[in-house]
Structure 1
Amino acid sequence: MTLRVCFLLSALLIGLGLHCSASAGNQKEEAIADSVRLALSKAIADSRPPKPSFEKFEDKLKYLNWLGEMSDRLKRRIPDRQTRIELLETIWYESKRAGLEPAMVMGLIQVESGFKKYATSIVGARGYMQVMPFWSRVIGDGDPKKLFHMQTNLRYGCSILRMYIDMENGNLYLALGRYNGSRGRPEYPNAVLANWKNWEFSG
């Protein structure tokens, strides 16, 4: 069963009748196991550049087609081509690295920051994926300014979302709610799902 199907089933079961406004970037600091904290810290500390490698030419071709298509779709939001390509390369790399679908991560970014690198929420969340500053203390080097760095922000965001998915036993609906600090409410997961569709690629 795909993440999308699980997501839709969970949304129906949890109840779509609630109507509260969703707010971006409001992860809650909570107790996590030492083993999870260590794994996250190692993931964040890996400084390899976001350059994909492919064993098959077909996979590389599909990636290049995805890159071109997504660049066209993102052009209105990010006019500068170099910035756009660097962001897309990093989104693809960090999504795959965390076992996430790039289209879902892009849908989340659209909801969280509208693809604005220096976005800051009213609760202090930062960057593309609106990562809360406390994460830099919990799993990073304690410098929240680095959350405005493209790869750092995406690595934190994707790693944290992967952790939440694992914590929720694969339930993406609840994991997205936890990422937003609104676990069990439908507005934020539904918003991500709606925007996810904007970035799907059949290629």
Structure 2
Amino acid sequence: MMNSFGIAHTNMPNPRLVRGFVVLCLVIFTLCSPVASANPDPELAALLKKTVNQASSFEDKYDAEVWLVDMSQRLSRFVKDPKERLTMLRQVHRLATAHDLQPSLVLAVMEVESHFDRFAVSRVGAQGVMQVMPFWKNEIGRPEDNLTDIETNITYGVTILKHYLDREKGRWPEALARYNGSYGSYRYSTKVMDAWQKRWK
């Protein structure tokens, strides 16, 4: 069907325009919401732009913007600093994707393990956002690595998690139990899957 200008008419909106509009709304909501500040923070806006441009694990910039802004809102209950949130999310997405893991599931693991506290230490000595045991540093010949560094910790964590997932042939409950050192029990696995379903999926 043609309109008066001879252009084909369709009732279906352009998907790219729709995504662009959604991104714009999300960015405005995030930067202007009372949770952040009364006025848009130009420094944060610049950081978001930089983060999106550096997010090479995304297929396009719109996907990066939508995911980062959406997940930043969800993560705000755990990490108050918006700059820290965006940096953490970009690293999670990049490192999880590189290991063929869903970033949302890695976020669920981080929530259950440490509530995103980079300085968390368990009663058995596991450290950081993904609660990595320090002995791994010596095992791979990198004793100088700092497990309180978020990127380092996530790199170790996703590598270990992917190893156990492959070992269990894609069975998440078993892989998560091995990651937690509680193989034979599904209590930890259930916690992670619940967090994933409720907050990150």
TM-score (norm 1): 0.69
2:170 alignment partner in structure 1: 170
1:191 alignment partner in structure 2: 191
* Structure ID, larger Rg: 2
More relative contact order in 1 or in 2 (CA 8 Å, sep 6+)? 1
CA distance in structure 2 between the aligned counterparts of 1:55 and 1:151, rounded to whole angstroms: 18
Deviation at 1:184, TM superposition (A): 2.0
2:156 is matched by which residue type in structure 1? Y
- String of CA shifts for 1:76-131, please: whole Å, max 9, x gaps: 22111111110111111111011110110011000000111100000000000000
Q: Which runs of 5+ in 2 are unaligned?
A: 1-53
1:97-176 to structure 2, matched below 5 A, reads 97-143=98-144, 146-176=146-176
Deviation at 1:140, TM superposition (A): 4.3
Give structure 1 regions of 4+ aligned residues with deviation exceeding 6 angstroms. none
1:24-63 to structure 2, matched below 5 A, reads 51-53=54-56, 56=59, 59-63=60-64
- String of CA shifts for 1:107-164, please: whole Å, max 9, x gaps: 10000001111000000000000000011111241135x1111100000000010011
Contact 2:57 2:94 in 1 (8 A): no
- String of CA shifts for 1:150-202, please: whole Å, max 9, x gaps: 100000000010011111122111111000001121100000000012112xx
The 3-state SS of whatever aligns with 2:147 is helix
- Size of the aligned set, in residue pairs, is 147
- String of CA shifts for 1:24-48, please: whole Å, max 9, x gaps: xxxxxxxxxxxxxxxxxxxxxxxxx
When the two chains are superposed, the root-mean-square deviation of aligned CA atoms in Å is: 1.5
1:53 is matched by which residue type in structure 2? S
CA distance in structure 1 between the aligned counterparts of 2:110 and 2:78, rounded to whole angstroms: 12
CA distance in structure 2 between the aligned counterparts of 1:55 and 1:147, rounded to whole angstroms: 26
TM-score (norm 2): 0.70
